[in-house]
Amino acid sequence: MAPQPITPAADASNEILLAATGVSKRFGGVRAVEDVSIAVRRGEIASIIGPNGAGKTSLLNMISGFYRPDSGSITIEGVDTTRFRPAQIAALGIARTFQNIALFGGMTVLDNIMLGRHVRMKSGVLSSFIYWGLAQKEEVAHRERVEELIDFLELQDLRKQPTSALAYGLRKRVELARALALDPKLLLLDEPMGGMNQEEKEDMARYVIDVNEQWGTTIILIEHDMAVVMDISDRVAVLDRGRKIAEGTPAEVQRNPAVIRAYLGAGGEGRGQAA
């Protein structure tokens, strides 16, 4: 049975869940992100796009705590998380997937997804010995939640398989399940459809929409399939050479001259796909 939908508060649609204000990040002499500000409302799907090297993943890494901004600030539900470590941000209910799959290949699908529950587990090693019944009860509850996710993402026949034996598209789906095991309020997806065929992309897009609509999960998406981005996003921010050059609805962004130049170049020659 799929997890029960979360009903957002009546005024949640205009509530800012995440705000990055004037954030910058340099690596030596390379300007990865320069004075970028974005605000993501609760319950929306916000996409970040741009040509190769635009700074999209660097921005996501700052939001999730893997990088610290050189300047600027990041707040989540009004809490300043600019200097938080990744574990502290995860504890706030922020989960992410990675551009390169980061699963444990020798572990089963079930065990990989169970790892995503670690932030939610209250019983430590010592308390597990002292209060065995409590720890066992908690383990059962977490297993039930993981089984719900396995059903939701249609992985029922693969739960006991090592992830290294799975096709690429299925491993991407397992990584999404592990992120969802945190029960995140904000889900950061870094190219969840990269390397997939068309059928796999359509399946993943459906899962992303269902997570957003059924559970009320706010999503920040980096994706270079523009058809997918424009179809499922509420708002789109465009980066180019580390700076934000446009933001708005998909229709507004598609018509923006600065966006057209960033993708096609002033002379009409492409500078590569967004990535």
Q: Is residue 223 part of a domain?
A: yes
Considering only 24-38, 118-132, 165-179, which range has the smallest mean pLDDT?
Answer: 118-132
Say what the pLDDT of residue 120 is.
56
Verify that 82 and 124 share a domain, yes or no: no
pLDDT in tens, 170-193: 999 999 999 999 999 999 999 999
Say what the pLDDT of residue 207 is.
97
The amino acid sitting at 216 is G
Verify that 113 and 52 share a domain, yes or no: no
Verify that 39 and 155 share a domain, yes or no: no
Q: Is the pLDDT of residue 274 over 60?
A: no
Helix (H) or strand (E) holding 75: strand 71-76
Q: Is the pLDDT of residue 145 over 50?
A: yes
Cα 122 from Cα 139, distance rounded (Å)? 10
Cα 20 from Cα 73, distance rounded (Å)? 6
| pTM of the shown model | 0.84
Helix (H) or strand (E) holding 48: strand 45-49
- Residue 35 sits in a domain whose CATH number is 3.40.50.300
Range of the domain at 75: 15-93+185-275
Q: Is residue 1 part of a domain?
A: no
- Domain finish residue from 160, 183, 206: 183
Q: Is the pLDDT of residue 111 over 80?
A: yes
Mean pLDDT of 64-92: 96
Say what the pLDDT of residue 92 is.
94
Q: Is the pLDDT of residue 139 over 90?
A: no
Helical spans, DSSP H, in the chain? 56-63, 86-91, 109-115, 125-130, 132-152, 168-180, 198-215, 226-232, 250-255, 257-264
Contact 187, 219 (CB under 8 A): yes
* Domain count of the fold of the chain: 2
**Residue 123 φ then ψ, to 5°:** -85, 115
DSSP three-state, residue 27: strand
Residue of 94, 87, 93 lying closest to 60 (CA atoms): 94
Percentage of residues of the chain with pLDDT beyond 90: 69
Say what the pLDDT of residue 119 is.
59
